[in-house]
Chains A and B, each alone.
Chain A
């Protein structure tokens, strides 16, 4: 019985299933470690990807970085904590319900922030909106801190177990959950953006807001929808993150938010598949550096690599330099 312990010392994982038992020779160790790090990196990166999508979508329609987005991620975690008491813990139904309700709450929060703080500034200089976004971010962080002086321990929402794959690679059910949920959300998002009327309108507004209004699109409604969509994804990210790091506090969004923002830039800001790719890549790089003997410099090395990538691809990995015909 392998146990992964949470902050209170309780056993998180009750079952350990060995899918394939193998006596791995010593030279297989490094291969095993490599794949183990890939899996760990991807599951961290998937969470960055979920946050990065919100940055990139809002940038797509408004050409502005919503700095309060990382705090919506935090509110997602806290609303998960709040809703968890109404559902049985360690159950799939309960877990999914909590995730769904938190996504809903954050979607409304994102739309509210857009309506109250950003829409009145439409048409004023970008700098004003940017400063407002920082203000909203601080408002969320510090109004939560008024009530919460100590970090809270995030509940166990889903049943936990871990699997041993061939070669001794360990896959936890939380990682499986992160992969499955991120994949489903990405598919849903791609469907909305590519095949629904609202998604097509989002792409139209993103390309040219003036032309969009001339075909009868209400740009404000599309922008509001975009905030809702991005915030819902951040909420899902917040809960998945808290399942891995179960101590939640009002400033928990700052660093993951910053990294997700970098991931969005890395993938090509405004580009949806780019944000997902950037998030995954950042997660993997970070995990590998963390597992090496340079782990003290994790963030420094990870960010240096990103800077190098951006030197060679200034518009990001999937970002395109668009040329307009005259």
Chain B
């Protein structure tokens, strides 16, 4: 494909330990600018931990995380957001006690320019018109699907260059899942936003991504173009339901 494109993010032999538990055993990833890349694997394989290591929520024991040529492995979460990485966490984690509007405003916490905030908010409303209907509503009263839209919208408010999504389909009505995945592709195409997607629904994830990594017990066991992974018999058996 476009081999000349640069890597926006590289993980080199990243190791994460929780006490005596070895959560990530030497993970290496290469993500090209503009791609949708997916991480698939069973529960407890280390997908969420990988995303948390990138966004600075968990400290790494060894290895390096290189973002746009700079080592970000020692930065704090808010400094990593400042560099243009946004993370939509597992379980959405919208601020349930704040209104939809306040959630989006918090998404743009580091943005000082009111015009940029306004235009980004208009963009979020154009992707998820339902949020606009509910701006005054407390986020905790939204449905699961709407909360996921809000979580993605809030992440977009920081004008990221690199977006990480952790299980966006979790606990959401099937019809809305389809809608949200279409929007993810739309965001990627329109904004040229690079996306790293962690998803339990491996079929769906491989459909919209260009490249995939398969994690097992904190290690990458297979990586390839998503279409190739979809036809790999072992992957089909283990993750795609036969």
A interface, CB within 8 angstroms of B: 197, 200-201, 203-204, 206-208, 210-219, 322, 324-326
The residue that B158 contacts in the complex, of A203, A206, A215, with Cβ under 8 A, is A215
A214 x B55 contact (CB < 8 A): yes
In the bound complex, how far is the Cα of B218 from the Cα of A315, in angstroms?
Answer: 41
Number of contacting residues on B, CB 8 A? 32
CA gap between A204 and B108 in the complex, in Å = 13
Q: Which residues of A contact B102 (CB under 8 A)?
A: 200, 203
Complex contact A216–B55 (CB within 8 A): no
Chain B stretch 88-125: residues in CB contact (< 8 A) with chain A: 89, 91, 93-98, 102, 105-107, 109-110
Question: Which residues of chain A are near B97, meaning CB under 8 Å?
Answer: 203, 206-207, 322
> Is residue B61 contacting chain A, with contact meaning CB distance below 8 A?
no
With contacts A213-B76, A214-B77 taken as known, whether A200 is within 8 angstroms of B106 at the C-beta atoms is yes
Judging by beta carbons under 8 Å apart, are A204 and B171 in contact?
A: no
Assembly CA distance A208 to B96 (angstroms): 9
- What distance in Å separates the Cβ of A82 from its nearest Cβ neighbour in chain B? 38
Q: Please, which residue of chain A has its CB at the minimum distance from the CB of B142?
A: A325
Q: Contact check, B78 vs A216: say whether CB atoms are below 8 A apart.
A: yes
| Known pairs A215-B154, A326-B171 / 13 extra A-B pairs, C-beta < 8 Å | A200-B102, A204-B95, A207-B95, A210-B89, A210-B93, A211-B89, A211-B93, A213-B76, A214-B89, A215-B81, A217-B106, A218-B78, A322-B97
Measured CB to CB, the closest approach of chain A to B107, in angstroms, equals 5
Contact residues in A for B87 (Cβ distance below 8 Å): 214
**In the complex the two chains form, is B98's CB within 8 Å of A200's CB?**
yes
Chain A proximity of B77: nearest CB distance (Å)? 4
Q: What's the Cα separation between A218 and B82 when bound, in Å?
A: 11
Contact B95 A203 (CB under 8 A): yes
Interface residues of B (CB under 8 A from A): 55-57, 76-78, 81-82, 86-87, 89, 91, 93-98, 102, 105-107, 109-110, 140, 144, 147, 154-155, 157-158, 171
When distances are taken between beta carbons in the complex, the residues of chain B under 8 Å from A215 are 81, 106-107, 109, 154-155, 157-158
Query: Inside 8 A of A326's CB, which chain B residues have their CB?
Result: 91, 144, 171
Decide if B78 touches A213 in the complex (CB within 8 Å).
yes
B107: chain A residues at CB < 8 Å are 215
In the bound complex, CA of A210 to CA of B57 (Å):
8
| Inter-chain contacts of B110 with A (CB < 8 A) | 216
Q: Which residues of B contact A197 (CB under 8 A)?
A: 105, 109
When distances are taken between beta carbons in the complex, the residues of chain B under 8 Å from A324 are 96, 140
CA of A206 to CA of B77, assembled, Å? 17
For A217, list chain B residues within 8 Å (CB): 78, 106, 109
Q: Can you list 21 A-B contacts with CB-CB less than 8 angstroms, sorted by A residue number? A: A200-B105, A201-B106, A204-B95, A204-B98, A207-B96, A208-B95, A210-B89, A211-B94, A213-B78, A214-B87, A215-B81, A215-B107, A215-B157, A216-B82, A216-B110, A216-B158, A322-B96, A322-B97, A322-B140, A325-B140, A325-B147
Distance A253 CA – B94 CA, assembled complex (angstroms) = 39
Residues of A within 8 A of B77 (CB): 213-214
Q: Nearest B residue to A323 by beta-carbon distance?
A: B140
**5 A-B pairs closest in CB distance:** A216-B81, A213-B77, A211-B93, A216-B110, A216-B109
Cβ contacts under 8 Å, A211 to chain B: 89, 93-95
CA distance A325 to B147 in the complex (A): 9
Residue of B nearest to A217 (CB): B109
Q: Name the A residues within 8 Å of B91 (CB-CB).
A: 326
Contacting residues, chain A, for B105 (C-beta < 8 A):
197, 200
Determine the distance from Cα of A216 to Cα of B154 in the docked complex, in whole angstroms: 11
Set of chain A residues within 8 Å of B158, measured between Cβ atoms: 215-216
CB-CB < 8 A to A204: which residues of B?
95, 98, 106
CA–CA, A200 to B78, complex, Å?
16
Identify which of B78, B81, B102, B110 gathers the most chain A CB atoms within 10 Å of its CB.
Answer: B78
